[in-house]
Amino acid sequence: MSHPWDNKDVVFKTRVVLRAMRNEQTVEEIALEYGVPVAQVLEWKKQVIDELPEIFTQKRSKRRRSPSDSAT
């Protein structure tokens, strides 16, 4: 069964997770404010925490190119 929060965009999920990671409010308050279940906020937060180390350990064979790089 699909839930309305399953289709939220990346920006929305990012905003919710960042608020939860700041620990300025309880997860319950954040969930209520954004209209998602507490369990969903906790799941998104756990997913981010679990995947953060991968960002710093990935070996990238190519440097990301900016639009200005291709103009030269």
Tell me the pTM: 0.69
Per-residue pLDDT 10s for the chain (72 aa) are: 556 656 679 999 999 999 999 999 999 999 999 999 999 999 999 999 999 898 888 765 445 555 665 555
Give the pLDDT of residue 56.
82
d(CA 41, CA 6): 12
Longest dimension (CA), the chain: 51
The torsion angles phi and psi of 66, rounded to 5 degrees, stand at -90, 160
What's the DSSP call for residue 63? P
